[in-house]
Amino acid sequence: SLSLANIHLDSLPFATFQPSEATPLKTSKKDLKSYSPTTGTCQMSPFSSPTSHNEQDLRNHPSNAEENKPKSRLSRRGQPQTEEDAFMELQSKVKSSLVRILKIRANLTSLQALEGSKELENILGVSDLSCDLSAELQKTQALMSQAEELQLLKRNDGKLPAQ
């Protein structure tokens, strides 16, 4: 019978392997990025499609410095926004939030009536009943349309604009 005590593992040819032989060669991270486990294919060109979300972000946003800069206001046609356009935009925002403002003001007014606080009355202007926001908004719109008509008159050298 064979005795295992007399056999040394170092003398066996299959037992003389190096640790690097047991582990396959490691692939670089670059190779892993181009391999798609979903399709089982490798990317042929680094420019064919983005290999990561970071590269895609860099394509969409060339530099972080540009992102941090405040964007200048441009109209749809790429023209700079004028003061009139900015004012009309603000006026539109006020008009759209008018209902919400009036509800909040009504709630605060009823709160003021419960509290009896003169400070809250001063903030809200409750004692001044002529302070109606919707009426003020209509006055502002009328003044803006008059100003636009005057500008048209100036441009046309005093001639009435065609309507």
Does the pLDDT at position 11 exceed 50?
A: yes
CB–CB of 102/92 below 8 Å?
Answer: no
Cβ atoms of 43 and 34 within 8 Å: the answer is yes
Phi, psi for residue 26 in degrees, rounded to 5: -80, 140
Position 67 pLDDT exceeds 50: no
Would you state the pLDDT for residue 33?
Answer: 64
- φ and ψ of 74, to 5 deg: -125, 145
- Residue partners of 148: CB distance under 8 A and separation at least 6: 84
For Cα atoms 117, 120, 126, give the angle at the middle one, nearest 5 degrees.
105
Note the pTM of the prediction, 2 decimals.
0.32
H-state helical runs in 39-82: 53-60, 64-68
The model's confidence at residue 58, banded by pLDDT at 50, 70 and 90, is: very low
Helices assigned H by DSSP within 28-132: 29-34, 53-60, 64-68, 83-115, 118-124
